[in-house]
Every structure is written in C-alpha cells, then in structure tokens.
Amino acid sequence: MTSATIRLDDVTKIFDGRVLAVDGVTLDIAAGEFFSLLGPSGCGKTTSLRMIAGFELPDSGRVHVAGRDITDLPVHKRDMGMVFQSYALFPHRTVAENVAFGLRMREVPKPDIERRVKAALAQVALTGLEERKPGQLSGGQQQRVALARALVVEPPVLLCDEPLGALDRKLRQQMQFELKELQKRLGVTLVFVTHDQEEALAMSDRIAVMNHGKVEQVGAPTEIYERPRTRFVADFIGEINILEESGRARALRPEKIHLVSDGARVSGTVETANFLGGSTLLRVMTTDGRSLLVRETHAGERPSRKPGDAVGLLWNDQDTVLLEG
C-alpha cells in the first residue's frame, strides 16, 4: 500500500467570520506515520482534520499531500480514507455494499470488488457478516466495517476522527492495538484526532498537542510526556506538579518524586492516597504550603502510606522541565 506525506502550511480557518477555529497551523506529517492531533474539545483538531479531508476550505494557508497542493481539490477527488466517530455507515446498505462503495466509485471491475471486499472484511475479522445491515451489528463490529470501508480503496492517507470514542474501555483498548497493528502493516499515513491523551500516547509515532486553534507542541509521545514545552501541554498530558520558582514554572512528574526517610528536600503529610493497582497516587501537603502529587510504585510490597502519615520528599533538578511562558 502506498503512503503519502501531508503538509499543512500556515492554515487558518474562521467560522461565521468570528470564531477562530484554526490559527496559523503548520504541520509536516511523514509518509507512513501514525500522527495524532490531541487536545481538548474546541482546540481545532477536528477542523484541521476536516481541512485535510476537504470538508472545510482554509481561509488562508495551503494543504499539501504527497507534495501536491490539494487545497482547492474537492473531497471526492482527494483519494483518502476516513473513519468517523459515529462510523457513518450507510444504514440502507449491507456490510459488503458499504465496503464495496469506494471501489464502485472508482469503477473497479465487479470480480475485483468482490475479491477485495472479502479480503478487507477478513482483515478486520468480519467474514460471514457480509449480508448484515449496520443496524444489526455491535458498536465494535460497526467500527471494523467503517475501517474496512476506508481501507479497501488502499488510500495513501487515512483520517480518523475520534474513531474509538464511542466504544467501551475494554473494546477500545483492543481496537487501539488492532488499529496500530493494521496501520504498521499497511504502512498508510494515519492522522488520528483524539482528546484522550492515553490513547494518543499509546498509539502515535508523533503527537501534535493543540489548544485554542494553535499547535502547542509536536513530538514523539515520550518527548511530549517527558519534556512538555508549555504549561498547557504539561497539564494536559498525565499528572504533573508545577513548581513556581523565582517567577519561572517547572514541571515535575509525580513518579520523579521519591519518598525518603533521610535527606528529604521537603517534608509533609499525606492528604489522600489513591490506589491505582500498580502504583498509588498520593497528594502530599508540604510544610512550606505546597500540594504535590507523588506516585509511589509497588514493586511487590503492599501500599504503605495512608492519609495522615508524615513523609519526606526528594527529587533531582534534572527531572524538572522548564516551561515556556
């Protein structure tokens, strides 16, 4: 399967002449990359995706795919695949007809359509459900049909708009795994919109964190997690402590704080202890009046700290990250 680069070049979108949805976004997405647009609702991630798809025209800036400027190309000529949160299956058509739709539009010969539909359904483990209507399928099955329908045309680019948002947690994790695996196998460039940071961290090659229509930071999941550049990114991804020191903000992950009996940098009292299975997240009120999150990992032993316990805290300065702004 082919894959293509995507480039958003200083793209801006204003709705109704007053709502600035996307504000000068520039992104370079590599061929075959699993790229996530992450941010809270209203941050402009879906609008950015819809501009790549062609549903929205940028007010300024250009969109390139595989080096070609496609800004003015209508949706149906862009040759992309897309998966929607609501699946958007054709309710009046069978599973097989849904999957065959894109091939029919491309005027693929009938025997080829049958073969490829069969293969695509096998790929998402839906063999045998060809004649069902979408209404007769479970949410997970519908999601797979949507995926098969998008992928059967072998698009160089697959766009996913919160595709797993409607699934329950267990199914969702399974689908995350499958989707990632499928993307790697097919080598398709995948742009994935989500507001779920765990999902983005787990699946992406790179993540663009967006806020108020702007890209705050682009980087690999580890980079985003460990070296957040802005207070927003630090706050949005996982648990974080923001330390204010002489007018500058530093981020410190709870797992980088150690509980010690001697040589504590600061001491305090445990206020709450949330048991999370592999670790316990403690909220500690320090003697100098700060409230810090501390992750206590359990290497075999039971969690030992309870609210009211006195603890000593220690961390290395190298583990803190200086934030911009």
Nearest to another protein of 90, 275 (CB atom) = 90
SS3 content of the chain, % helix, strand, coil (to 5): 30, 35, 40
Least Å from the CB of residue 295 to another protein: 40
Q: Is 169 exposed, middle or buried (0-12, 13-18, 19+ CB in 10 A)?
A: exposed
Per DSSP, what are the bridge partners of residue 157? 189
Task: Calculate Rg over the CA atoms of the chain.
Answer: 23
Per DSSP, what are the bridge partners of residue 294? 282
Nearest to another protein of 110, 248 (CB atom) = 110
Least Å from the CB of residue 83 to another protein: 9
Least Å from the CB of residue 306 to another protein: 50
Least Å from the CB of residue 42 to another protein: 19
Least Å from the CB of residue 235 to another protein: 31
What is the distance between the alpha carbons of residues 157 and 237, in angstroms, rounded to a whole number? 27
Least Å from the CB of residue 267 to another protein: 55
Nearest to another protein of 190, 237 (CB atom) = 190
Nearest to another protein of 8, 237 (CB atom) = 8
Residues 6+ apart with CB under 8 A from 40: 195, 211, 236
Residues 6+ apart with CB under 8 A from 55: 75
Nearest to another protein of 129, 264 (CB atom) = 129
Least Å from the CB of residue 54 to another protein: 8
What is the distance between the alpha carbons of residues 209 and 207, in angstroms, rounded to a whole number? 6
Phi, psi values for residue 52, rounded to 5°: -65, -40
Per DSSP, which regions of the chain are E strands?
A: 6-15, 19-29, 34-38, 60-65, 68-69, 81-83, 157-161, 189-194, 206-211, 214-219, 241-245, 248-252, 258-260, 266-275, 279-286, 291-297, 310-314, 321-322
* DSSP state string for 58-85: -SEEEEEETTEE-TTS-GGGS--EEE-T
Q: Find the helix or strand (DSSP H, E) in which 317 lies.
A: none
Nearest to another protein of 106, 115 (CB atom) = 106
Nearest to another protein of 99, 293 (CB atom) = 99
Tokens 């320090």 -> residue: 286
Q: Give the interface with another protein as residue ranges (CB under 8 A).
A: 53-55, 74-82, 84, 86, 88-92, 101-102, 105-106, 135, 146, 149-150, 153, 159
* Buried/exposed 6-20: b ≥16 CB within 10 Å, e otherwise: bbbbebbbeeeeeee
What is the distance between the alpha carbons of residues 187 and 156, in angstroms, rounded to a whole number? 9
Nearest to another protein of 77, 169 (CB atom) = 77
Nearest to another protein of 25, 80 (CB atom) = 80
